[in-house]
Amino acid sequence: MSEAINFHYVVDGDDFTSAGEASVDIKRKLRQLGVDPAIIRRVSIAMYEGEVNMVIHAEGGTVDVNVYEDKIEMILSDEGPGIANVELAMKAGFSTAPDYVRSLGFGAGMGLPNMKSYTDGMEIDTKIGVGTTITMVVNLK
């Protein structure tokens, strides 16, 4: 088994409009690797949701995408406030996003549920006041 390829992205927390740059770039990379378009789409959507979450709640963070021969792993880390109630956060429609965020069309409470539904596995590691790390896996085979 050959080693994984890592793509590292820094998500800028200041700017909503820049959220999604990493998920755009990863699409190109995965296409170059010859990954199935349907899988690329799932990875990219899940990652986009994660990026937006980091901008809304945590003033940005980092995304590491590791491509293995049989799976794609996305690790999204931030040093934000942490998620108080993970179970609640996973509920479709539940959102703690402030009003101004909602007025921009974000914060519909679909981020985490979407991330889970588009991936084959998702783990949330969060600590209040320390930050959140979300690891998502999409299988290639």
Residues of the shown chain interacting with another protein in the complex, contacts defined by CB under 8 A = 2-3, 5, 20, 23-24, 27-29, 31-35, 37-38, 40-41, 44-45, 48, 67, 69, 140
Is 83 or 137 the residue whose CB approaches another protein more closely? 137
- The nearest distance, CB 57 to another protein, in angstroms, is 19
Alpha helix stretches (DSSP H) within 14-132: 21-33, 37-58, 86-89, 99-103, 111-118
Q: How many CB atoms lie within 10 A of CB 65?
A: 24
C-alpha span between 127 and 97 (Å, rounded): 18
Is 2 or 129 the residue whose CB approaches another protein more closely? 2
Residue 91's SS3 state is coil
- The nearest distance, CB 14 to another protein, in angstroms, is 19
Is 33 or 88 the residue whose CB approaches another protein more closely? 33
AA letter at 8? H
